[in-house]
Amino acid sequence: MIQIGLVGNPNSGKSSLFNALTGLNQKVGNFPGVTVDKKTGLSQLTDQLKATVIDLPGTYSLYPKRGDEWVTYQVLMDQDPDVKIDLLVLLADAANLKRNLLFVSQIIDLKIPVVVALTMMDMARSKGIEIDVGGLERELGVPVVVVNPRKNKGIIPLKKAMAATALHQYQPPARDFIPNKELAGAAVDRVKTLVDHEMSDYKAVHLLINHERFALPDSLQTAIEDTEKNNQFNPTKTQAEEILQRYTRIKSIMQQTVVEPDPLQKSLFTEKLDNILIHRVWGYLILLGVLFLLFQSVFLLAQYPMDFIEWGFGEMSTWLTHVLPAAWWADMLVNGIVAGIGGIVVFVPQIMILFGLTTILEDTGYMARISFLTDKLMRKAGLNGKSVMPMISAFACAVPAIMSARSIENTKERLLTILVTPLMSCSARLPVYTILIALVIPDKRLAGFISLPGLVMMGLYLFGIVMAMAVSWVAKWFLRSKEKSFFILELPMYRAPRWRNVFTTMFQKAKIFVVDAGRVIMVISMVLWVLSSYGPPGRMKAIDATYEAALEDFDRQHGPDSAAAPAAANEAVAAARDALEKEYGSAKLAGSYAGILGKAIEPVIRPLGYDWKIGIALITSFAAREVFVGTMATLYSVEDDESNNELLLREKMRQAKREDGTPVYTLATGVSLMLFYLLAMQCMSTLAIVKRETRSWKWPMIQLIYMTALAYLTSLLAYQLLS
């Protein structure tokens, strides 16, 4: 068993190769003391040789800037006590070989056994680049294997090269890639004497530059510091000289082994497209157009499958009501579990369409252009272009989005990004928006084809972005930092989306949404059914006695004589009895434990236009925002009992009345509620991940307080203006 480290530049295909080498034998943990993910997996190289493969965070060189790059650097410099690498597999992007060879050359000079996996050869050929792989291998002095992990090509030759290197059939080059000792001659010799005579000259240079970041004895730290002073060692000058020498040698190797097209003679398709898509004027207009089409599609394409799912669950509830016995467990199944799950499954088509379209944008390379395009705007709010990717990811879910903020080098900008990312409208808010828009926004077409509900949906998403920028602009004045901020981004080539990847992502995200949300909703629906069906015995008996007596009186008054009455009169009697039964159900719900809880908080939320049932939903949806719909489905199913199971949830909500007979869901209430869910921090998972990423409860508590206050005040203002 050996340990293999997987390293390379970001976007070089490292994750794909890790999956190809390890298959399902994977686990994810954390590197000690940091929040950086540690992905490990098992791979069988030969019958006798097995390997633990460690996927190290991507880095461009051995001069780290971000926290995750420092993790990789510590491992490569043998400073991580838990990870000892026997062999490195270094991925190099053939389409950007010159830049990738810088990192390759540094690893070679550390004298760590290494195999270079050359990826993206198909893209290199499409750019007119031809590489002499054998010649490149001779010049570098290490094995070079062409792989395409997405198509599982080159994996067997790569494993053979890994096994041969692990068994010392390949030796690290005897000569350095560049004369490292000349960078700091006497200082290098002194460090090797102090630490290890067998150490490479290049590793000694790095000890001189970064020894303060290493876990070395105090006496050794002092000795290396004295060596720096005595030899007038200048880290910045040494680093600059090293990089220049490496690129000089890399240029020579490229001239001998790589044939590239003349850039002056070939105008690339990517450059022509970028002249339009990241134009200082047209770029922003196109971005707004893309967002407009995205949200119009979410509404228009999902309409028919959503109607079908709603109809299916309505029919299921009606059928179960008729075939199951009159028992408490049947009532809980129909009005608790089925109503709750049905309220969330109906939104799967919209979730799938949203994720499918965003995956297409990412696969084609347009997502990176959005980061580039918005950098200038982001800086005014205290962020930078790299903040865009976590914020866009938060349209799916804030938890992985906040974790992805690790790629932001500047501590202040990273913290600001974490603080405002939950203001993006995640997929959990989509069911809330959809049902409220259906209730209070007329389904009109502007100019014959523009959906008004789609425009409102887009407005909510844009409002979340605006509020995030405003909050960040205010917060930047309270967070002080002397760190300099840089925004360096590699714009990938445009390419056709991988449709298999698009459909796989749609299916996986829908599955995660249904399974994760379904578990929470099932538990909450059952608990809520119990709280909604039972209450203090004395109060519930009094309600039962009052309404059972009222129903008996009604039946006595309209009993035998009604059969001979005209049809219109019979219909009026039936409607009156249904109204009395509905009043009975409402009274039982109001007297239940859930009703008591809702009534207790009603004075606080009444100024926002909410009744006590909405109050219950606000409490239960703190576990997950999408629980709002399941809560409403359970509450209205319990209230209606068996009389209206065939009605859709939105119809039940549309018919909901206040005690004074006015509708609950007016335009003012609907807009107020949408804004509350847009701005409030109603997600325990997000608070937990913020605590993990910041290593303090201070920031999640600040988030909870400022987002709740912002949501309350904005909703209050909206309701008062629209009432």
CATH number of the domain that residue 34 is part of: 3.40.50.300
pLDDT reading at 306 higher than 50: yes
To which H or E segment does residue 38 belong?
strand 37-44
pLDDT reading at 287 higher than 90: no
pLDDT of residue 643: 45
pLDDT of residue 266: 44
**What pLDDT digit, counting tens, does each position of 654-684 carry?**
777 777 778 888 899 989 999 998 998 877 7
422 and 542 assigned to the same domain: no
**What pLDDT digit, counting tens, does each position of 419-456 carry?**
998 898 877 787 788 888 888 888 787 776 677 887 88
pLDDT reading at 265 higher than 50: no
Burial class of residue 251 (count of CB atoms within 10 Å of its CB; 0-12, 13-18, 19+): exposed
Q: Tell me whether residue 105 is in a domain.
A: yes
Any idea of the CA torsion for 624, 628, 629, 635, to the nearest 10 degrees?
Answer: 130
Of 166, 190, 208, the position where a domain reaches its end is 166
592 and 647 assigned to the same domain: yes
pLDDT reading at 565 higher than 60: no
Of 138, 166, 194, the position where a domain reaches its end is 166
**What pLDDT digit, counting tens, does each position of 481-497 carry?**
666 666 666 676 677 77
pLDDT reading at 305 higher than 60: yes
Structural contact between residues 615 and 598, judged by C-beta atoms closer than 8 angstroms = yes
Q: Which two tokens stand for residue 427?
A: 């997929």
- Sort strands 26-30 and 37-44 into parallel, antiparallel or unpaired: antiparallel
To which H or E segment does residue 623 belong?
none
- Residue 57 DSSP symbol: P
CA angle 671, 672, 675 (to 5 degrees): 85
Range from 124-128, 168-172, 528-532 carrying the lowest mean pLDDT? 528-532
Q: Tell me whether residue 484 is in a domain.
A: no
pLDDT of residue 642: 47
pLDDT reading at 700 higher than 60: yes
Q: Tell me whether residue 631 is in a domain.
A: yes
Report how far apart, in Å, the C-alpha atoms of 34 and of each of 416, 485, 494 are.
19, 22, 35
127 and 187 assigned to the same domain: no
186 Cβ contact partners less than 8 Å away, ≥ 6 residues apart: 231
CA dist 375 and 537 (Å) reads: 61
Band of residue 400 on the pLDDT scale cut at 50, 70, 90: low
Query: Which range of residues forms the domain containing residue 443?
Result: 282-475
Look-up of token digits 């009532």: 331
Q: Region 362-381: what's the mean pLDDT?
A: 78
β partners of residue 4:
53, 87
Higher-pLDDT residue of 505 and 152 is: 152
Band of residue 709 on the pLDDT scale cut at 50, 70, 90: very high
pLDDT of residue 366: 79
159 and 295 assigned to the same domain: no
- In one-letter notation, the amino acid at residue 142 is V
Domain count, the chain: 4
Of 137, 166, 195, the position where a domain reaches its end is 166
pLDDT of residue 28: 60
Band of residue 142 on the pLDDT scale cut at 50, 70, 90: very high
- Using only C-alpha atoms, the chain has a radius of gyration, in whole angstroms, of 32
The mean pLDDT value of the chain amounts to 80
155 and 81 assigned to the same domain: yes
pLDDT reading at 397 higher than 50: yes
85 and 192 assigned to the same domain: no
pLDDT of residue 35: 52
Any idea of the CA torsion for 286, 290, 293, 295, to the nearest 10 degrees?
Answer: -130
Range from 142-146, 173-177, 379-383, 525-529 carrying the lowest mean pLDDT? 525-529
Q: Tell me whether residue 697 is in a domain.
A: yes
406 and 536 assigned to the same domain: no
pLDDT of residue 645: 45
Q: Region 4-14: what's the mean pLDDT?
A: 84
Q: Tell me whether residue 493 is in a domain.
A: no
- In one-letter notation, the amino acid at residue 227 is T
Structural contact between residues 432 and 626, judged by C-beta atoms closer than 8 angstroms = yes
pLDDT of residue 482: 67
Structural contact between residues 397 and 689, judged by C-beta atoms closer than 8 angstroms = no
- In one-letter notation, the amino acid at residue 374 is T
154 and 301 assigned to the same domain: no
pLDDT of residue 81: 80
150 and 187 assigned to the same domain: no
Band of residue 69 on the pLDDT scale cut at 50, 70, 90: confident
Band of residue 122 on the pLDDT scale cut at 50, 70, 90: confident
662 and 539 assigned to the same domain: yes
Look-up of token digits 């390759």: 104
Q: Tell me whether residue 586 is in a domain.
A: yes
Q: Tell me whether residue 513 is in a domain.
A: no
110 and 230 assigned to the same domain: no
pLDDT reading at 125 higher than 80: yes
Q: Tell me whether residue 504 is in a domain.
A: no
- Residue 565 DSSP symbol: S
Q: What is the largest CA-CA distance in the chain?
A: 115
200 and 154 assigned to the same domain: no
Q: Please state whether the predicted TM-score (pTM) of the whole model is above 0.85.
A: no
pLDDT of residue 108: 92
